[in-house]
Amino acid sequence: MGEVDPAYFQQPEHRPKLEIVQAQGIPLIDLSELTSNDPSQQPSETLVEEIRNACRDWGFFQVVNHGVPLETRQRIMAASKEFFAQPLDEKRKVRRDEKRVLGYYDTEHTKNVRDWKEVFDLTVEDPTFVTASYHPDDQEVDEWHNQWPDFPPHLRGACEEYARAVEKLAFKLMELIALSLGLRADRFEDFFKDQTSFVRLNHYPPCPVPHLALGVGRHKDAGALTVLAQDDVGGLEVKRKSDGQWVWASPTPDAYIINVGDIIQVVWSNEAYESVEHRVMVNSERERFSIPFFFNPSHYTVVEPLEELVSNESPAKYKAYNWGKFLLTRKASNFKKLDVENIQISHFRVPELADALEGALKLN
Ligand SMILES: O=C(O)CCC(=O)C(=O)O
Ligand SMILES: [Fe+2]
């Protein structure tokens, strides 16, 4: 391999340390009571408490016995490997651009530094309804459609099956989170009626400069909740809330890593829970695959603190914003990366929100 493009180099203070800090304590939560019991039964207070503690103290946790069939996960992982193993020209036949925002992409930047990865994005609903313009007064609605490659032919089926299975888990988790905030279990359900959720296939090739580059630079996820499948290579690091240290989220076979996104932080919990920064290290020997499912509400969702959580003692910390406009702004800004931060601030006109979401400017 020749010279590495310096566009990949992180600023010195953001470069990864190659010695690993094991993430002692990222909670591991067993969901078997949800999958084995009668679905009409309420989750136990013990489980709700575990979720509350994990969301409050970490913003990240892992779940096992989650109900997503292992074969469904294996099928999408295998299809993803086949897709990315193709020559670049083939993959670029389904590349993402300003008009077709879904598909293959290999030049994503997080905070203006290029990520050492390639991705394939698909939405869970096809079509997905989105706001057509990020201009605040424009009410027009647009549709996003998935793009599917010819090869491998089973990629589409594998992705669709996976999306439906993980969606079920995401709904269950939102119920647990609602209960953990003292809300009705179905309090969040309606927000996802016309969801804008998407699945991303991530491929991190071996990297000759793992001390300089990152697979994904530090960021927070902007949606409600992320459900991540990672293979056994490892690389995800989470910024521990207690001391700001980057810690390694060790792969656990067949577990999903869950993290609270900005919507839950900013609005639906009025900051009881926090969306936590994370990043991905790469290594010079092994390629890595991961699959995040970004659980996002309908585009017309007005994201604002729930009235039940706001009181004189706990006033709303954020003003309302429109999720669809926010999502579109980020998609568009991906193609005009230097303007990103200005676009964000000017469109939402809410300085405190812009600060809170600064970490979410990457297109997740
Ligand atoms: O690959 C991973 O482990 C995480 C990826 C991630 O954080 C993202 O795509 O937002
Ligand atoms: Fe992320």
Average pLDDT of the segment spanning 113-140: 92
Residues 199-228 have pLDDT tens digits of: 999 999 999 999 999 999 999 998 999 999
Q: What is the DSSP letter of 190?
A: G
Q: Which atom of ligand 1 is nearest to the CA of 200?
A: 9
| Environment of ion ligand 2 (residues, CB < 5 A) | 221
- Our answer on whether the CB atom of 115 is closer than 6 Å to any ligand 1 atom is no
How far from the centroid of its chain's Cα atoms is residue 22's Cα? 22
Cis upstream peptide for 16 (omega within 30°): no
**272-281, 315-324, 351-360: which has the minimum mean pLDDT?**
351-360
Report d(CA 290, CA 233) in Å as an integer: 10
pLDDT at 267: 73
- Our answer on whether the CB atom of 110 is closer than 6 Å to any ligand 1 atom is no
Average pLDDT of the segment spanning 158-177: 98
CA 346, 347, 353, 357 dihedral sign is negative
pLDDT at 344: 36
Give phi and psi for 47, each to the nearest 5. -65, -45
Give the chain's mean pLDDT: 87
Band (137; pLDDT cuts 50, 70, 90): confident
- Our answer on whether the CB atom of 363 is closer than 6 Å to any ligand 1 atom is no
pLDDT greater at residue 362 or residue 110: 110
Mutate to test the pocket of ligand 1, among 231, 236, 286 (most ligand atoms within 8 A of CB): 236
pLDDT at 263: 87
Which residues lie closer than 8 Å to 241 by C-beta, 6 or more apart?
57, 58, 59, 274, 276
- For ligand 1, the distance from its centroid to the CA atom of residue 311, given in whole angstroms, is 35
Residues 26-61 have pLDDT tens digits of: 899 999 999 876 777 889 999 999 999 999 999 999
Closest Cα to atom 1 of ligand 1: 290
pLDDT at 363: 35
Mutate to test the pocket of ligand 1, among 239, 246, 364 (most ligand atoms within 8 A of CB): 364
Ligand nearest to the CA of 276: 2
pLDDT at 339: 42
Report d(CA 173, CA 179) in Å as an integer: 10
**81-85, 94-98, 295-299, 336-340: which has the minimum mean pLDDT?**
336-340
User: Is residue 175 pLDDT above 70, yes or no?
Assistant: yes
- Our answer on whether the CB atom of 218 is closer than 6 Å to any ligand 1 atom is no
Closest Cα to atom 9 of ligand 1: 364
- Our answer on whether the CB atom of 202 is closer than 6 Å to any ligand 1 atom is yes
pLDDT at 332: 66
pLDDT at 144: 94
Report d(CA 32, CA 178) in Å as an integer: 19
User: Is residue 329 pLDDT above 80, yes or no?
Assistant: no
- For ligand 2, the distance from its centroid to the CA atom of residue 312, given in whole angstroms, is 34
Q: What is the DSSP letter of 112?
A: T
User: Is residue 99 pLDDT above 90, yes or no?
Assistant: no
User: Is residue 318 pLDDT above 80, yes or no?
Assistant: no
Closest Cα to atom 3 of ligand 1: 236
Band (184; pLDDT cuts 50, 70, 90): very high
Predicted TM-score (pTM) of this structure = 0.91
Which residues lie closer than 8 Å to 247 by C-beta, 6 or more apart?
21, 22, 23, 24, 26, 237, 238, 239, 240
